[in-house]
Structure 1
Amino acid sequence: MYQIVVPVDDNVDRAVEQARHIIELPGDLAEVSITIAHAYRDTNRTNENHDEESPAVIAAIEHLRNAGLAVEQRELYVPVAEAILDLTADIEADAIVMGGRKRSPTGKALFGSVTQSVILDATVPVTVVGVE
């Protein structure tokens, strides 16, 4: 089974684009398993204690399941990039498909870039898909 980690933020368009990218991958989708990961800023949340699901997570899961893919969901916490990489290692994922967004160099320097950190530190291939 080919395992892909899909970190999703709260942007529905990016999450759907990530799902579409996976659905369009060549090969047998029956051999692909997806783990949707969503980061929360509240470090006191637990997997059993979430009041409301992110619409982006719901949209991504719906697109992937409608295409016949096996989908699992995990919650992540800060620091997000480290949590994505830890999850990838824990489940022995084969790839990461991230959503990208445009940020200025200054914005990246001031606020950091989860995508950039994952790309630089990942031990598996990382694909970044974006929405124009």
Structure 2
Amino acid sequence: MVQLLLALDDDLSQAEAQIAAIEDMVETAEGAEAYILHVFDENPEGASVHQIEAIRETKDRLEAAGVTVELLESSGDPAEEILRHAKEYDVDQVCVGGRKRSPAGKALFGSVTQDVILGTNLPVLVCGSSGE
């Protein structure tokens, strides 16, 4: 059985790309378990991971593909939280979204995807949005 950590934001087209990649992967796996993580930057209203359309859609599609899904939520620095959850849940692979950015944009604003890739020895699957 393969265990995956999917880090999702609220971008549905990004989630669609991640769903497609995971669906392709689990077709050949003996079984799969996915932890879907959303990290809130700030959450003063107490929003829940269950309220995010991209999360609900991903959960429904992966369960339909035979994947066991658990939803996780956290607050704080996204890269740190993704890495912490990957370690805590002892996953085999991390799946994150990637966005097109210029080199200057990466240097000025940082990149969660880059920080995750550099912060773990686990394989990291990076998916562009379905519109790219």
Aligned residues: 129
Note closer, same or farther for the CA distance 1:36–1:45 as it changes in structure 2 (3 Å cut): farther
| Match runs of 1:57-68 below 5 Å | 57-68=55-66
RMSD: 1.9
Give the fraction of aligned pairs with identical amino acids, expressed as a percent. Answer: 36
Listed one character per residue, the Cα deviations across residues 23-66 of structure 1 (whole Å, up to 9, x for unaligned) are: 101523x52100000111126677xx638611111111111111
Partner of 1:69: 67
Q: Distance in 2 between matches of 1:84 and 1:52?
A: 18
Q: Which runs of 5+ in 2 are unaligned?
A: none
Instruction: Name 1:103's counterpart in structure 2.
Output: 101
What displacement does 1:76 show?
2.3
Letter of the 2:54 counterpart: A
Structure 1 residue 23 corresponds to structure 2 residue 23: yes
In the superposition, the TM-score normalised over structure 2's length comes to: 0.88
Pair 1:85 & 2:83 matched: yes
Q: Which runs of 5+ in 1 are unaligned?
A: none
Judged with a 3 Å threshold, the aligned counterparts in structure 2 of structure 1 residues 31 and 77 are, in CA distance, closer, same or farther, namely same
- How much has 1:19 moved relative to structure 2? 1.2
- Cα separation, 2, equivalents of 1:41 and 1:107: 20
Kindly report structure 1 stretches of 4+ aligned residues shifted beyond 6 Å.
none
Say whether the 8 Å CA contact 2:49–2:73 is kept in structure 1.
no
8 Å CA contact 1:33–1:69 kept in 2: the answer is yes
- The equivalent of 1:2 in structure 2 is 2
TM-score (norm 1): 0.88
> Structure 1, residues 102-127: CA drift from partner, whole Å, max 9, x if none?
11112211211000000011121001
Compared CA separation, residues 64 and 85, structure 1 to 2 (3 A): same
CA distance, structure 1, for counterparts of residue 88 and residue 43 of structure 2: 20
Match of 1:38 in 2: 38
